[in-house]
């Protein structure tokens, strides 16, 4: 029977490479060498950290070519520049659009809610003189509920149509053309508002349909103007 069935391994006397022995200087790993690109990146980072950010001065603080001196500012005659016609047109269009919107809402409510006043001209207006002092203008006589529904729908659409106006302006027509079209459509809607106020149309009972068509066209025009007005004015300034 052999005595070497279970050999004993001597791990202590086994050869070990010098790098594996404890307490040697090579236990502390040396710093890996830097490649050229890594050195360049570190140098760039150091330069970036050392570079100070210079604040940008406003144009008002800088001297530019042709800037008048203090003496010239005091002695030279000041001549106003010409205002472009587009700026004047923007002011008039915005004034007309806001006057149209706020000036018509209450009139729309009275036109739908109250009946024709007695002794009036038949267009919805009260008679002139003392006879009309205690009367309310009106035409259709449909009551407060219908009148509120009509005016609220007009106001609602005036703030919804700018979405459509913005899409048309950005995709197809541009701001200025959309603004001009909205102005023309708004003027046309005011002309259409004359139709439901004709005495014969009111007397026939068919004034509601042309009235609704007119005010909804007007709300669309307000939407086209509202969405293009501010960006156009900003570009002009």
Q: Report CA torsion sign: 56, 57, 59, 63.
A: negative
Rounded Cα gap, residues 150 and 196, in angstroms: 15
| Kind and range of the H or E run holding 208 | helix 208-236
* Nearest C-alpha neighbor of 226 from the set 105, 85, 87, 96: 96
Higher per-residue confidence, 131 vs 145 = 145
Q: Specify whether the CB–CB gap between 195 and 201 falls below 8 A.
A: yes
- pLDDT confidence bin for 36, thresholds 50/70/90: low
Domain extents for the chain?
85-236
Q: Phi first, then psi: what are they for 117, rounded to 5°?
A: -70, 145
Rounded Cα gap, residues 149 and 152, in angstroms: 5
DSSP 122-163: SSSPPPSSGGGTT----BB--HHHHHHHHHHHHHHHHHHHHH
**Looking at the predicted structure, is the pLDDT value of residue 61 above 70?**
no
Name the pTM for this structure: 0.64
Q: For 150-199, how does the pLDDT look when each residue is reduced to its tens digit (9 = 90+)?
A: 999 999 999 999 999 999 999 999 998 999 999 999 999 999 999 999 99
Q: Specify whether the CB–CB gap between 194 and 210 falls below 8 A.
A: no
Rounded Cα gap, residues 225 and 186, in angstroms: 9
Distance of CA 181 to the CA centre of its chain: 19
- pLDDT confidence bin for 70, thresholds 50/70/90: confident
Q: Specify whether the CB–CB gap between 76 and 67 falls below 8 A.
A: no
Ranges 146-155, 209-218, 227-236: which has the least confidence: 227-236
The per-residue pLDDT for 119 is: 86
Rounded Cα gap, residues 176 and 182, in angstroms: 10
- pLDDT confidence bin for 46, thresholds 50/70/90: low
The per-residue pLDDT for 5 is: 56
Q: Specify whether the CB–CB gap between 100 and 186 falls below 8 A.
A: yes
Look up tokens 């509202």; give the residue: 226
* Nearest C-alpha neighbor of 217 from the set 86, 112, 104: 104
The per-residue pLDDT for 67 is: 82
Q: For 71-124, how does the pLDDT look when each residue is reduced to its tens digit (9 = 90+)?
A: 888 888 888 878 888 888 888 999 999 999 999 988 999 999 999 998 888 888
């Amino acid at each position: 029977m052999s005595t070497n069935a279970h050999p004993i391994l001597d791990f202590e006397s086994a050869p070990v490479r010098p790098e594996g022995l404890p307490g040697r200087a090579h236990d502390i790993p040396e710093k890996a060498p830097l490649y050229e690109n890594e050195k360049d990146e570190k140098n760039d980072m150091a330069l970036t950290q050392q570079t100070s950010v210079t604040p940008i001065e406003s144009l008002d603080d800088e001297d530019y070519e042709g800037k008048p001196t203090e003496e010239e500012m005091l002695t030279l005659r000041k001549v106003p520049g010409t205002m472009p016609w587009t700026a004047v047109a923007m002011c008039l269009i915005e004034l007309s659009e806001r006057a149209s919107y706020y000036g018509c809402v209450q009139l729309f409510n009275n036109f739908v809610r109250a009946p024709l006043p007695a002794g009036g001209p038949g267009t919805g207006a009260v008679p002139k003189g003392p006879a009309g002092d205690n009367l309310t203008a009106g035409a259709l006589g449909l009551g407060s509920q219908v009148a509120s529904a009509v005016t609220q729908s007009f106001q609602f659409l005036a703030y919804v149509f700018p979405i459509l106006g913005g899409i048309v302006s950005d995709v197809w027509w541009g701001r200025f053309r959309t603004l001009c079209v909205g102005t023309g459509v708004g003027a046309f809607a005011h002309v259409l508002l004359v139709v439901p106020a004709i005495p014969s149309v009111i007397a026939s009972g068919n004034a509601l349909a042309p009235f609704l068509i007119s005010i909804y066209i007007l709300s669309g025009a307000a939407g086209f103007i509202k969405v293009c007005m501010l960006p156009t004015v900003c570009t002009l300034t």
